[in-house]
Structure 1
Amino acid sequence: MVVDRAGTTRAAAGLTADSPEVAEAVSEALRNQRTRIASGLTPWSPPSALVAMPIGTGTQVDGAVVIAASTSEARRDVARTWSVIGGGAIAMLVVGSVIAVALSRWTVRPLTALTTRVRSLRASVIDRVPGASEPRPSEPRDHRATGPPEVRELARIFDAMADDVETATAAQRRLVADTAHALRNPLAAVRFRLDTLGLGLTGRALESHQKTLVEIDRLDRIVEDLLVLATAEARPAGSATGVCDVGAVLVERHDFWAGALTDAGLSASIALPSGPTRTTIAALDEDDLVRAIDVLLSNAVKYAGPAASVELGCRPEGARIDIWVADTGRGVTEAELPRVTERFFRASTGGGPGSGLGLSIARALVEGAGGELTVSAGRPAGLRVDLWIPAADVVSSAAADDQS
């Protein structure tokens, strides 16, 4: 449609001025306003769009031209393009999903196998240990509520197995303790009868009798060590209730072992910190510390060798007290050093009698007080064992006693 400045139709093909849309477009064009064409087109846009253009020079408007442009072809092109993009996105999603499923199955397959293995292991524990299947209270485990189902199942089975293993370990300790306790009386009776029997023996029979007594004594020491070890390992960490003066204990044990050390050809010394005695008050029962020190000194007497020197010492290290027994004897090979605290382990350099439980007992006693036992090579030779014991807060205890 073409109109003059008065709005009179001069030519028209398919458009009439009676249409409100056309009339509005003509009015805007005669006011020298061009039709604002939409910047985007969608498949659901109107089938046609009116375009009005003023005719004239500068600000002088002599008429206007209005065109009804069809959008059908453009909308079809947009719909076709969108379909290709959507189809490609769906295809990529399907391919990504297939890859994700394949990767997840490849990743989860070991977890599934591990879950099956853990379940089988737990079943064997339940079958062998009475009471292992009984649930016991434990801390809440939040990881069961999140994560993939396979991981949650594995976590649940692993938690149950961990509980069963703890129960089995406790049952094993009880068994060792009960067995050792039950063997003490029969061993004592056998020793008494052997002593009585030996009164009437002479010659080779007496020699065999004495060898038997040595084996009985060795067996009795092993039973005693097993009982002490089981009792010490049954204590929770940090359960020690007593305190002791480490310096006084070291001095007393040094005097006690002086004769044995001299007989073994060893020279002994003691190193104590200067200052108030309270700096060496440890949160450990005195009997436990004495037993641990006796284990270390006994090992030095048996294995250090003649002409070696042995040093006992202690010093405060922050919130802990370092207690050590170091010798310059044969020591232990570097490969065997990490294993010397294992049960029944005997180093290749140790040729004397022993059960291999001494350092295990010392470690259990120290860890029961919340401490730590470390073993290292001596300088320049030998073996050094450090007991790191928590220091007792005697200053605040003394202040509380003064106030009371």
Structure 2
Amino acid sequence: MIDISNQFDHFLDRQSAPESSLVLHFLQACGLSLEENLRSKFRKQLTHASIREGVRIFPLFKYKDVDLIILDETSFMHTGTFKAIDGCMISAYCKVMGINQIVAESGGNNGTALAEYCHKLGIELYCFIPSDNLASIPEQTFMRPGNHLMAVRQRHMVKDVAHLFATQRGIPLIQMVEWRMEAAMLRGLFILEQLLSGEKFDWFSQTISAAFGPIGIYRVLQRHYQPEDLPRFLGIQQAANCPMYQMWSGRTYSNARISSKDESLLVPVMYDAHPQTHGTFQELADLLSLARGTLTIIDNSEFDQFLNRKFSGKTPQQWLADHNLIIWQNREKPLEKAGLLAMAGLIKEIDQGTISAGSRVLCSITGGSRQIFNSAIPDYLIDHISQVERMYSSVSCR
């Protein structure tokens, strides 16, 4: 990808602030695997697609002599989560590859981002999500021409339904792992920029599903640092759906469970019980070995206790609000919990002694800050896979 050791400044556009768009800030680092002519077209599409993909960093509080620093990947994102970067990247790649229609399966955040950015570039989207997650998708997003939303009642059916629809219609099912990795690498470049400017992080923590994020981030960092100098990685999963944790810890994978009840999942958008199908587990395991990292899980009880804990007199959400990072709530309860889950896992590992006193930890808040909206209404509500053939019966690849 990038020889960043001597040429990092070459990839920076200092006229485009990272708070406005990480994509434009690191535009010269995008599409380096493409031939020069195609690379130029790709960057033009990225520039056209970009809306707001901003990030920032700020210190939050000290706990047991551990400094907690926040990587805010929600407040300045167009769709309220870091998936805005993915949406921008994937839509631009589709455009330069001549792909005008796509099928996607999503927990909600990725689907929302794809809908926003694909619409801007004139790409038609057929998106399948679990019906329990409709509350995470703004109604306006899927009211636009070319954005189609299907809700599947049984979570475990979402992938199969999307795959069957794509196969029957001859429309590409977007599963481009490397495109998503490249989006994550922009986040890695931002972290590297902070480190090169004098910041110090002993650990980096993030909630994970398939782990595209940390894998992409550490692909960047390990090109600049020796393994012993890398920030150690802490990955957090929700206990009700923790297949990566189970595989890594050596437990029987069949023990992984997932419930169709919304309240059983702390983070419903991270519904995928089989993220290893993306082929990322081995690279995650290698990352954990290289960066001397670990994985942990948080259950519902631990999460509730964390939300109510006071740190120097304030709850976690109050601390975040002091920095204008407002977590999306309903009836005083957070609806988007992925970022808070990462914080809960971090505090748990400090309490257990995994993270020692004197450490500085960068914690990613990947989502949570959104304005309240009406929930999307799907075009179809799918109870059985046999319904797929009848949906959009006249639709085919164009």
Normalised by the length of structure 1, the TM-score is: 0.20
Q: Which of structures 1 and 2 has the bigger CA Rg? A: 1
Which structure would you say has the larger RCO, counting Cα contacts within 8 Å and 6 or more residues apart? Answer: 2
User: Structure 1 or 2: larger helix share?
Assistant: 1
Normalised by the length of structure 2, the TM-score is: 0.20
